[in-house]
Amino acid sequence: MTLKEHGLVAVVDDDSSMLNALRRLLVAHRFQVETFASAEEFLLSPVLDQIACVVSDVDLRDGMSGLALGETMLARGHATPIIFMTALADSEVRRRALALGCSAFLEKPFSAEMLVESVAKAITGPK
């Protein structure tokens, strides 16, 4: 089974250049990707039930944070693996992300390989 058969990867980031770079990276590694500029946009998406993994920035301006997105997804019964990324990691943010059961917690800057491996692991599970 190929990774494409496992569903879509949603990338949520309010920084358009980061959003585009992450999309290009993941598409180059044969993932299907949908991008969203906000948590709210993602939660209203018609593809929400097709998402196999979410990659979200923790600090989303002008709206719901990445952590609040994770909390909302869990409250709505979506147990989709979430990979959080942040440039502003502190122990409280890390604790909250881990309490949500995040699949990975990546501190910026992170390597392309680290992200690709984290997404693959989140979708297919450990090998």
pLDDT given for residue 62 in this prediction? 86
Mean pLDDT over 45-60 rounds to 95
Q: How many CA atoms lie within 13 A of 84 on its CB side?
A: 26
The two structure tokens encoding residue 3: 């990774």
Ordered by start, the domain boundaries in the chain are 6-124
Residue 2's pLDDT is what? 46
Structure tokens at 127: 């090998």
The dihedral through the CA atoms of 55, 36, 16, 91 has a sign that is negative
pLDDT band at 106 (very low <50, low <70, confident <90, very high): very high
Cβ-proximal residues to 37 (8 Å cutoff; 6+ apart), any chain: 12, 13, 14, 16, 19
72-101 pLDDT, tens digit per residue, is: 999 999 999 999 999 987 899 999 999 999
For the chain, the C-alpha Rg in angstroms (whole number) is 13
Return the CATH number of 6-124, one of 3.40.50.2300, 3.40.50.450, 1.10.540.10, 3.40.50.10470: 3.40.50.2300
